[in-house]
Each structure stands twice: as structure tokens, then as C-alpha cells.
Amino acid sequence: MTLETKVLLEGLAFGESPRWHDGKLWFSDMFAHQVMTVDLEGKTEIIVEVPGRPSGLGWLPDGRLLVVSMTDKRLLRLDPDGLTEVADLSGLASGDCNDMVVDALGRAYIGNSGLGTDLKQSKLGPAEIIMVTPDGDMRVVATGMILPNGPVITPDGRTLIVAESFGSCLTAFDIGPDGSLAGRRVWASLGNGVHPDGICLDADGVVWLANPGGNEVIHVREGGEVTNRVKVSTQAFACMLGGPDRRTLFILTAETWDHDEARAKASGRVETVMVKVPGAGLP
């Protein structure tokens, strides 16, 4: 079955880290340095400016927004009087910090690009996943990752699945009571040509993943079986299930991930398509 998308929003620099929250899609327009929302009618709102490039988003149990600030490697919290630093990750993160998932207890799991990673020259370095508590305590909970991206947590709170973008796989961990990660395993091997970026989970335990190089979003079961593909207008960088019944698949697309070119082209879009199985888990 071929699913066709509709354009909800266009004119973004580079959208990342979509989240469905309080009846709206929240996301980072990374290269415009803004966290934004858009509702189902296409109405937008700028929530906060983040000079260090916003990426991963999540919420504490008390409802306050957490934002990853990429280039200065910080986790920020949006308080009533503005942004507050929760943790400076520069001593633990090998590269620029990136996507994040926040669990039900407010613990944030944050990836980074890795030491020496240069995507333009196809140079990759190992990266970490860092866990940060709501109080700002932090520690490395996984190492040797190949550009960890788009993490999700299963509805029971016991498993974290992360896309290793240039490992062409989805990797799973068991989450311990103290937030530690153990039992690392390949959840799905995706093969050459598939470089998963943002991902989300549905109620059947199947992952939707954005595959930029294929201009598509792929529906993949544990073990690697592909059950559906959605073609999009350009490159797909992230996806999220949301809407009133969590059956709207929001897909963030753009023509390029080059900072200057993306700002000049403003080709970023939010595209949508309806799917049968609703979203589940976090984010």
C-alpha cells in the first residue's frame, strides 16, 4: 500500500525532534535556532530561541520543557523566566549533542555526534549516550555508539531503542531502576543504504524511522522486517506519531542538512499521513 503525505507546514530551515504534546506538534527548527509548535490547522508559535541550536525535546513530570542545546553541549530547562542550564555535558559528550528522550521520571537520555565525526567527509567517531537526572546529575550510560539518534522508550519503561544512524541499525538496551542501560543488542539490522535518523514507536511495538537518503519513512519490526514505506518530497530526517488519536504520522523533511544552505533555501517541511496503528511509548 502506498501512503501519500500532505504538507502541513513549509518554510522551515531544518526541522528536528518532533514531539506531540498538549494538542500540538513541538519541534526544533535547528538552523533557525528556535523551538516551535504547529497545530493541525498549520498555525505556528515560536516557544523559545536557543542560540546553540536546539535539538532534542522532552518534558519533566512537572511539565517544564527540556531542550538540548547542540553546539555548546548543554541541557536546558524552560522556566517561567527563561532558559536555565540543567547540565553542562561538555565534559562527557565527544561531539555536538543531538537527540533526546525523557522518561516518566524526568531522566533525559542524550546522544551526540561523536569525536571527530565529519559527515561531509564520511568520518565517524564513537559517541556516548548520557543520562541526566532532573537535578542535573549526569553520567555516561552507553559508549561506542555510531551517531546515536532518535531514541524512544517502550510503554513499560523498560527498553530504550536508539537509531545508530551510520551503523544502519536500531539498537536496544534494558533500562535499569537507576536509569542505567544494559543488555545492548541489535533490535533491527537495516542494511546498506538505510541510515535511520529520527524514530517513533507504535502500539504494535513497530518502529517508524526516517531514512534521509531514501527520501522515505520506513515501518520496521524487531528483527528488521519492513512492513511499509512512505515516500516524501525530499529527505526525511525525523518522524512522530501524534494527533488526537496518535494516528497522524508527522514527518520532518528538508532538501539539505548543510547549515548555510538550509537557512538560505528554507525548504524544511512538516508532512503528514494517516496510519492505522497509533503511537505508543515515549516521546
pLDDT digits over 29-86, tens only? 999 999 999 999 999 999 999 999 999 999 999 999 999 999 999 999 999 999 999 9
Domain ranges of the chain: 6-274
Q: Using a cut of 0.85, tell me whether the model's pTM lies above it.
A: yes
Q: What's the chain's average pLDDT? A: 94
Q: Give the rounded distance of the alpha carbon of 37 from its chain centre.
A: 15
Residue 170 CB partners (closer than 8 Å, separation 6+)? 161, 162, 163, 164, 186, 187, 188, 190, 196, 199, 207, 209, 220
pLDDT digits over 108-117, tens only? 999 999 876 5
CB-facing half-sphere around the CA of 212: CA atoms within 13 A: 21
Q: Where are the beta strands (DSSP E) in 14-137?
A: 15-21, 24-29, 34-38, 44-49, 54-59, 65-69, 74-79, 82-88, 97-102, 108-112, 127-132
d(CA 88, CA 99): 16
Q: How confident is the model at residue 2 (pLDDT cuts 50, 70, 90)?
A: low
- CATH superfamily to which 6-274 belongs: TolB, C-terminal domain (2.120.10.30)
Q: Is the pLDDT of residue 257 over 70?
A: no
pLDDT digits over 126-138, tens only? 899 999 999 999 9
pLDDT digits over 205-233, tens only? 999 999 998 899 999 999 999 999 999 98
The predicted structure's pLDDT at residue 116: 66
